[in-house]
A and B are shown apart, each in its own frame.
Chain A
Amino acid sequence: MNKKGEPIIKVEDVWFTYKGNIQALKGISLEIRKGEYIGLLGQNGSGKTTLAKHFNGLLKPTKGKVYVFGLDTTKASVAELSNYVGYVFQNPDHMLFGKTIFEEVSFGLKNKGVPKEEWEERVKKVLADLDMSDVPLTKSPHFLSLGQRHRVAIADVLVLNPEVLILDEPTTGLDYKRCHQLMRTITKLNKELEKTVIVISHDIALLAEYVDRIIILKDGKVLADGKTREILSQPDLLIQSNLIPPQITLLAQKLSDIGVPRDIIKSDELSHYVCNQIITKDK
């Protein structure tokens, strides 16, 4: 068992070329440590999904090495790697096929040869972890709301208890409230169940609230990699990769001449700063 903070995925100078000579990754090196909560960003075509698919062996590097829990992904099978890394695709409707939620979520267990007696308990546990205990197991997953279909798609993967969970744009199509409800659940998987979580997303303001580390890819290379605050407080860097910086950060930086910190990335941080100023000045 790896301890928190130990590297569990190592990407060493990885190049990847799709058929037709399209270079999607051009020399990527990075490490992902156990228990990290990461946002993977970049415009379409930047290579983020290609990179993420290297983490579970769906794609193998054309050049370079990827090690997942010490296994060389060019040698290990996707089935073997799926014990460690779970991948949830963007559109839940591309994943869901079971007639009932139970059939849907237990499919992975069946596939892995887990004894039938354990299925119900494990399905129930994973649905509880995803804040879905109130939905009957006999219900069809296809008639759930989009937010709940996202959760069932996550359950499909989480039920196998992978160490690492990759979520490809998990909040697409959800409104503000449901986005945050889902991100709170995902955050719980990281903070309480200690899963390593990698979220692929374009929504900077959303990532600002949750993830600890951000990796930005551009043209198949790592443009930036660091703590969320450090990366998001560089609007130029974001604009360079066609991402939209948080409005509140732009405001804070416009006000830096009167002492407002440049690394504000959330609305309430600015409010706290201003209130502290006002209260201290009042005394």
Chain B
Amino acid sequence: MGIVEIENLWYKYRGLEEWVLKDINLDVKEGEFIIIMGPSGCGKSTLCYTLNGIVPKLFHGEMKGTVIVDSRDVSKYTIAEMSTIVGMVFQNPETQITSLTVEDEIAFAPENFALPREEIKRRVDEILEFLGMTDLRYRNPYALSGGQKQALAIAAVLALKPKVLVLDEPTSMLDPVGQKIVSDIIARLNRELNMTIIAVDHRVEWAAEHADRIVIMNKGEIVLEGKPEEVFNKKEVVMKIGFRPPQVTEAAYYIEDMCRLNAPKPYPVTLTEAEKWYRQLINKYKWGGKDEQEG
């Protein structure tokens, strides 16, 4: 059984004609690292917001279908109850931070749940230690770098020990240093703590290297879904929806079209795969089409 089970999910915002989500079906296994991609307005953020119930509880609108997280039907629980199961991190860290010290920010949610003081302190210590932020404990969050702020937003969410972490474009407002800080944290939470991660991210090369599964949405529907190599090997669909694959895959697509050649399959999607693929292709055609060992 999956930790997230979305079945025949439809949703439209109040006052809008068009369904933003159209018959979404998605199962996520515990410990999976999923990256959702797709153009603006494709419904990927809305889909994320259904996981802790802020859609439709805060945004309102019409919803059909079911969302089950950790065996709980999200529609039957409050947002507060769901927050201990699904942690949600948004694009702009500044809109998520409310406290005047890093420590207070992390303690904020557990305080709201009236956890014992010792337990709160233990969680804050643990999280700061895990994220390597112990030195920043008494700092003002607003004086942190963009990447550190977003790391803090993640830390604050982790304080409730959720099983699933949902991140809606956590890196798109950060510079490359900040992107690396946040990407590394996400990867570690998944690898070291086996946390289930569902993240919206536009960085396709990063997604292809790290995700267990990529979900591509377009106009409210899931159009492609699978391991990165599966998704980006469906060239016709990728081209049809105008989605840009990793550069190494994109170049392979072009080669096939340009030289009218039946390129070896599967297409490469990571740098390591690409080195092998291109080396074989170039060597194969070296010296007039005969296979040739390199060197």
A residues less than 8 Å from B259 (CB atoms): 274-275, 278-279
From the candidates B242, B251, B288, name the one contacting A271 in the complex (CB within 8 A): B251
Given contacts A248-B247, A248-B251, 13 further A-B contacts (CB under 8 A): A43-B176, A146-B40, A175-B38, A247-B271, A251-B248, A251-B251, A251-B275, A255-B282, A258-B286, A268-B251, A271-B258, A274-B259, A278-B285
Quick check: B39 and A271 within 8 Å, CB to CB? no
Quick check: A278 and B177 within 8 Å, CB to CB? no
Is the CB of B132 closer than 8 A to any CB of chain A? no
Q: Which of B248-273 contact A (CB under 8 A)?
A: 248, 250-252, 254-255, 258-259, 261, 271
Complex: chain A residue closest to B40, CB-CB: A175
Q: Which residues of A contact B (CB under 8 A)?
A: 43-45, 145-146, 172-178, 202, 205, 242-244, 246-248, 250-251, 254-255, 257-260, 267-268, 270-272, 274-275, 277-279, 281-282
A residues less than 8 Å from B271 (CB atoms): 247, 250-251, 254
Interface residue total, chain B, C-beta cutoff 8 A: 44
Query: What are 8 A-B pairs with beta-carbon distances under 8 A?
Result: A44-B146, A178-B40, A243-B176, A258-B279, A258-B294, A271-B251, A275-B259, A278-B259
B residues less than 8 Å from A202 (CB atoms): 175-176
Quick check: A271 and B254 within 8 Å, CB to CB? yes
Complex: chain A residue closest to B91, CB-CB: A173
From the candidates B145, B246, B287, B295, name the one contacting A281 in the complex (CB within 8 A): B287
Q: Is the interface of B mostly helix, strand, loop or mixed?
A: helix
Quick check: B173 and A172 within 8 Å, CB to CB? yes
Complex CA–CA separation, A198 to B38 (angstroms): 29
Quick check: A173 and B282 within 8 Å, CB to CB? no
Q: Which residues of B contact A (CB under 8 A)?
A: 38-40, 91, 145-146, 172-173, 175-178, 180, 202, 205, 242-244, 246-248, 250-252, 254-255, 258-259, 261, 271, 274-275, 278-279, 281-283, 285-289, 294-295
Complex CA–CA separation, A282 to B286 (angstroms): 9
A residues less than 8 Å from B244 (CB atoms): 176
Quick check: B251 and A255 within 8 Å, CB to CB? no
Complex CA–CA separation, A177 to B247 (angstroms): 15
Complex: chain A residue closest to B277, CB-CB: A251
The 6 closest A-B pairs by CB, nearest first: A271-B254, A275-B259, A267-B251, A248-B247, A44-B175, A267-B250
